[in-house]
């Protein structure tokens, strides 16, 4: 590794905002600064909910202009969503938002010919109604789909506009439900039985692969001096966030917190058992041959929607009020798909408490405490279930992403899991993006070296578990310990990738970043 620090632009897109960060990497140096932040405002059209992809691209160009001269550019975003291009490379309409209702009932039709047990055994992906596979089946009868010659996942679409090249990055491709996690290649049998033409997809790319150079028009627009390479990173934001877990040799679980909570383990092989499917764990691919074995939990979306409904209260005061509310008074299932859609979240949480015979939260502080207790409980269940299903015990839980700013949630997670929690870095997805670029350009070592650099240069906070976990076990019994399965088989929880996120204001509730990813974070 050469000694002069280099600068890398990390384009980090979440479901409610995007930003361009600049990372500087050298021997013993890892610095990150924000160049530009811009909103991501989906638009509800007569035909449904759509992403404003042109506004996102304009934000990326503005961010690159603000970043100044850099040695490389990398892009990560949420998962599953995509754009369709015609034979001339023209985009066929705005990409559909994963929360759009077009996939309702689609999975059940597929299971009639491709049972969920077989689908999981082949792809290892948890059931979520918006997985790319179901989106494609929902679109199959449309003129847009009939005209499509190419499908590009959103980070690959933006890379295509920046460089003119086409590719499908592997960690994000693994969320489509069309990748075999054992071979790390397309699941040809699944595609054939589902009637999906894999020829729509561009060739697979690995994190670290070159993705072309910024086009002359982009250089002119941004004021950069070429050549400037674009480097393929772990373009699923959660995959980038997991790169930035500052773990050493300890056995660890991770939780990428934001609009979604992605909780699980880093493994060397997928877990494809029926028990794993029934528990709704997913096997998504990470860097360097790793598997992200995790469960998707609704995450801070619950609080974001409540804050929006309450009219932007002071978040600090709200969390202080929640800390004063007795713990575990009422809990909800943070994986219940009843909470997936936006709108009227405080009323829906109250109804869930009422239906389960628990005290109904009467104030914003009580509702907030209910949400945070419920998220900590969901984190506990996910960490415990992952260890059991994978035969992989852990000694510590690393929390990364925007939720690390929520000290009450971090402490409650330590209490619920009965394990120490190490919280940080907050900007995990952007840091993972930067580090993969740096390694590709000779400025960082392997995954272990990258994590050692993170541990030396970032300042995580450690939380020690307090109290007896017996009260958390009792709370679990109120609505059942594991996510419930539908009669057809798959589990009724949700996924994204979100991405690490954090509450700032109702218009941008997820980003310091959002989801889930938030993470996330699909």
Q: Has 508 been annotated as catalytic?
A: no
Percent of the chain surpassing pLDDT 70 = 91
Higher pLDDT, 507 or 88: 88
Closest CA to 407 of 466, 350, 478, 323: 323
Q: Is the pLDDT assigned to residue 496 strictly greater than 80?
A: no
pLDDT at position 269 over 50: yes
pLDDT of residue 492: 27
Range 96-110 average pLDDT: 95
Looking at residue 1, what is its pLDDT?
57
Give the model confidence (pLDDT) of 62-79 as tens digits: 999 999 999 999 999 999
Rounded to 10°, the helix 154-163/53-67 angle is 60
* C-beta of residue 244 within 8 angstroms of C-beta of residue 258: no
State the chain's mean pLDDT as an integer: 91
Q: Is the pLDDT of residue 325 over 60?
A: yes
Stretch 188-209: mean pLDDT: 98
Q: Are 254 and 291 in contact (CB under 8 A)?
A: no
Catalytic, out of 12, 156, 237, 333: 237
User: Can you give the residue ranges of every domain in the chain?
Assistant: 6-237, 248-297+382-426+442-520, 302-375
Asked, colleague to colleague, whether 6-237 and 248-297+382-426+442-520 share their fold, the answer is: yes
Grouping H, G, I as helix, E, B as strand and the rest as coil, residue 355 is helix
- pTM of the predicted model, to two decimals? 0.90
Query: Residue 336 — very low, low, confident or very high, per pLDDT cuts 50/70/90?
Result: confident
- The alpha-helical segments, DSSP class H, found in 214-362 are 216-222, 237-243, 274-278, 301-310, 315-324, 345-355
Q: Is the distance from CB of 422 to CB of 461 less than 8 angstroms?
A: yes
Query: Can you tell me the mean pLDDT for 465-472?
Result: 94
State the average pLDDT over residues 147-155.
98
Peptide bond just before 227 cis, omega within 30 deg:
yes
- Give the pLDDT mean for 374-390: 98
Beta-ladder partners of 152 = 83
Decide if pLDDT at 484 tops 80: no
Confidence of residue 2 (pLDDT cuts 50, 70, 90): low
Average pLDDT on 27-51 reads 96
pLDDT score for 480: 52
The reported pLDDT for the residue numbered 387 is: 98
Q: For residue 438, name the pLDDT band (cuts at 50, 70, 90).
A: very high
Write down the pLDDT at residue 487: 31
pLDDT value, residue 224: 98
Q: Which CATH architecture has domain 6-237?
A: 2-Layer Sandwich (3.30)
> Coil, strand, or helix at residue 98?
coil
CB contact set of 249 (below 8 Å; sequence gap of 6+): none
Say which residue, 2 or 305, is predicted with more confidence: 305
What pLDDT does residue 337 have? 82
- Topology of the domain comprising 248-297+382-426+442-520: Nucleotidyltransferase; domain 5 (3.30.420)
* Encoded tokens for 361: 């939260």
- Work out the percent of the chain whose per-residue pLDDT is above 90: 86
Q: What is the mean pLDDT of residues 469-489?
A: 65
Rounded Cα distance between 422 and 458, Å, is 12
């Amino acid at each position: 590794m050469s000694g002069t620090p280099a600068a890398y632009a990390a384009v980090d897109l979440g479901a409610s905002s995007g930003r361009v960060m600049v990372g500087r990497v050298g021997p013993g140096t890892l610095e990150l600064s924000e160049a530009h932040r811009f909103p991501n405002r989906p638009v509800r059209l007569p035909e449904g909910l759509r992403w404003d992809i042109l506004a996102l691209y304009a934000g990326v160009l503005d961010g690159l202009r603000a970043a100044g001269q850099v040695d490389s550019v990398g892009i990560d975003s949420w998962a599953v969503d995509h754009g369709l291009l015609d034979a001339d490379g023209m985009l066929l309409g705005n990409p559909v938002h994963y929360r759009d209702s077009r996939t309702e009932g689609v999975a059940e039709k597929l299971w009639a010919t491709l049972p969920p047990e077989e689908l999981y055994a082949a792809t290892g992906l948890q059931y979520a109604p918006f997985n790319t596979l179901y989106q494609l089946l929902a679109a199959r009868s449309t003129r847009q789909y009939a005209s499509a010659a190419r499908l590009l996942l959103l980070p690959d679409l933006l890379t295509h506009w920046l460089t003119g090249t086409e590719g499908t990055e592997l960690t994000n491709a693994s969320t489509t439900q069309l990748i075999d996690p054992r071979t790390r290649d397309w699941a040809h049998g699944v595609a054939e039985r589902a009637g999906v033409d894999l020829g729509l997809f561009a060739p697979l790319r690995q994190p670290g692969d070159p993705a072309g150079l910024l086009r002359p028009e982009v250089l002119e627009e941004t004021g950069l001096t070429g050549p400037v390479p674009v480097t393929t990173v772990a373009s699923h934001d959660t995959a980038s966030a997991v790169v930035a877990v500052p773990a050493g040799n300890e056995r660890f679980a991770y939780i990428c917190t934001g609009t979604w909570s992605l909780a699980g383990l880093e493994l060397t092989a997928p877990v494809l058992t029926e028990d794993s499917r029934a528990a709704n764990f997913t096997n998504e691919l990470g860097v360097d041959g790793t598997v992200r074995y995790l469960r998707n939990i609704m995450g801070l979306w619950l609080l974001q929607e409540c804050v929006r409904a309450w009219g932007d209260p002071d978040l600090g005061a709200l969390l202080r009020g929640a800390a004063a509310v007795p713990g575990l008074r009422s809990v909800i299932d943070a994986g219940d798909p009843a909470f997936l859609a936006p709108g009227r979240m405080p009323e829906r949480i109250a109804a869930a408490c009422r239906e389960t015979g628990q005290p109904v939260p009467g104030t914003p502080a009580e509702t907030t405490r209910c949400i945070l207790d419920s998220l900590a409980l969901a984190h506990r269940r996910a960490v415990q279930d992952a260890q059991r299903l994978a035969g992989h015990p852990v000694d510590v839980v690393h929390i990364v992403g925007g939720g690390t700013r929520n000290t009450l949630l971090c402490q409650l997670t330590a209490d619920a899991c009965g394990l120490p929690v190490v919280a940080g870095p907050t900007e995990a997805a952007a840091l993972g993006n930067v580090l993969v670029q740096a390694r590709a350009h000779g400025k960082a070592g392997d995954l272990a070296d990258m994590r050692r650099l993170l541990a030396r240069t970032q300042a995580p906070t450690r939380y020690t578990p307090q109290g007896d976990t017996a009260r958390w076990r009792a709370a679990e019994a109120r609505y059942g310990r594991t996510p419930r399965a539908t009669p057809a088989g798959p589990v009724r929880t949700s996924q994204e990738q979100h991405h690490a996120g954090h509450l700032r204001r109702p218009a941008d509730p997820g980003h310091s970043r959002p989801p889930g990813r938030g993470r996330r974070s699909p």
